[in-house]
Structure 1
Amino acid sequence: MPEGPEVQRFADQLDRVLANQPIVQLTARTQVAKRWLTEHPEMLLGREIVRVSAFGKNLIGWIAGDYYFYSHLMMWGRWTTFTGVPPHEVDRRERARIITATGGAILLSAPVFQLGQGNPYTQIEILRSLGADILPQSSEPFDQARFVEALRLSQPDRTIGAALLDQSIAAGIGNYLRAEILFLCQLDPWRRVGDLTEQNLHQLCQTVPQVARRAYETGGFTVSDLDRTRMQQDPGLVYRSGSEWGTRHYVFRRTNLPCLRCNTPIRQQKQLVRTDGTEEKTRIIYFCPVCQQVSINLKPRSTKRSTADTTI
Structure 2
Amino acid sequence: MPEGPEVRRYALQLQDALEGEPLVALSARTKDAKAYLLAHGDELIGRRIESIRSHGKHLYGTLEGEVGFHSHLMMWGRWFVYGANENPEVDRRERARIVSPRSCAVLFSAPIFEIFEGNPYEQVENLRTLGPDILPYDGEFDSNEFERRLKLPENLEREIGAVLLDQRICAGIGNYFRADVLWTCQINPWTHVAELSRGEIACLNANIPLLARRSLEQPGVTVSPEQRERLLHDEALHYNVDRPEWAARHAVFRRTNLPCLRCGGKIKQKFQTVYKTPDGDEENDKARLIYFCPNCQHVDLSEVPTARVTRRKKPKISPVA
Asked whether the two chains share a fold, i.e. TM above 0.5, the reply is yes
Q: What SS is found at the alignment partner of 1:42?
A: helix
Given that 1:36 and 1:116 are in contact with CA atoms closer than 8 Å, whether structure 2 keeps it comes out as no
Given that 1:23 and 1:98 are in contact with CA atoms closer than 8 Å, whether structure 2 keeps it comes out as yes
Kindly indicate whether residue 230 of structure 2 is the aligned counterpart of residue 230 of structure 1.
yes
Question: Which amino acid in 2 is paired with 1:124?
Answer: V
- Per-residue CA deviation, residues 9-32 of structure 1 (Å, 9 max, x unaligned), is 000000000011111111100112
Further displaced range: 239-248 or 197-206: 239-248
Stretches of structure 1 that go unaligned for 5 or more consecutive residues are 300-312
Question: How many Å apart are 1:227 and its aligned residue?
Answer: 1.2
Question: Which amino acid in 2 is paired with 1:216?
Answer: L
Number of the residue aligned with 1:113: 113
Number of the residue aligned with 1:251: 252
Given that 2:116 and 2:124 are in contact with CA atoms closer than 8 Å, whether structure 1 keeps it comes out as no
Number of the residue aligned with 2:292: 287
Further displaced range: 127-136 or 237-246: 237-246
Number of the residue aligned with 2:151: 152
Q: What SS is found at the alignment partner of 2:275?
A: strand
Question: How many Å apart are 1:79 and its aligned residue?
Answer: 0.3
Question: Which amino acid in 2 is paired with 1:297?
Answer: S
CA distance in 1: counterparts of 2:266 and 2:260, whole angstroms = 6
CA distance in 2: counterparts of 1:238 and 1:219, whole angstroms = 18
Given that 1:62 and 1:68 are in contact with CA atoms closer than 8 Å, whether structure 2 keeps it comes out as yes
- Per-residue CA deviation, residues 37-57 of structure 1 (Å, 9 max, x unaligned), is 123131211101012111100
CA distance in 2: counterparts of 1:4 and 1:41, whole angstroms = 30
CA distance in 2: counterparts of 1:264 and 1:88, whole angstroms = 49
CA distance in 1: counterparts of 2:285 and 2:24, whole angstroms = 46
TM-score, length-normalised on structure 2? 0.89
Q: What SS is found at the alignment partner of 1:250?
A: coil
Number of the residue aligned with 1:269: 270
Q: What SS is found at the alignment partner of 1:36?
A: helix
Given that 1:81 and 1:105 are in contact with CA atoms closer than 8 Å, whether structure 2 keeps it comes out as yes
CA distance in 2: counterparts of 1:21 and 1:141, whole angstroms = 29
Q: What SS is found at the alignment partner of 2:75?
A: coil
Cα 1:258–1:7 shift into 2, 3 Å: same
CA distance in 2: counterparts of 1:232 and 1:121, whole angstroms = 42
Q: How does 1:8-23 map to 2 (within 5 A)?
A: 8-23=8-23
Identity %: 49
CA distance in 1: counterparts of 2:290 and 2:261, whole angstroms = 17
Question: How many Å apart are 1:242 and its aligned residue?
Answer: 4.4
Given that 2:151 and 2:193 are in contact with CA atoms closer than 8 Å, whether structure 1 keeps it comes out as yes
Question: Which amino acid in 2 is paired with 1:152?
Answer: K
Given that 1:190 and 1:295 are in contact with CA atoms closer than 8 Å, whether structure 2 keeps it comes out as no
Q: What SS is found at the alignment partner of 2:221?
A: coil
Given that 1:221 and 1:248 are in contact with CA atoms closer than 8 Å, whether structure 2 keeps it comes out as yes
Cα 1:96–1:185 shift into 2, 3 Å: same
How many residue pairs match? The answer is 296
Given that 1:231 and 1:238 are in contact with CA atoms closer than 8 Å, whether structure 2 keeps it comes out as yes
Q: How does 1:74-113 map to 2 (within 5 A)?
A: 74-113=74-113
Given that 1:232 and 1:242 are in contact with CA atoms closer than 8 Å, whether structure 2 keeps it comes out as no
Q: Post-superposition, which runs of at least 4 consecutive aligned residues in structure 1 deviate over 3 A?
A: none
- Per-residue CA deviation, residues 48-86 of structure 1 (Å, 9 max, x unaligned), is 101211110010111111111110111110100012224
CA distance in 1: counterparts of 2:285 and 2:99, whole angstroms = 42
Structure having the higher strand fraction is 1
The CA RMSD over aligned residues, in Å, is 1.6
CA distance in 2: counterparts of 1:191 and 1:23, whole angstroms = 50
CA distance in 2: counterparts of 1:74 and 1:23, whole angstroms = 26
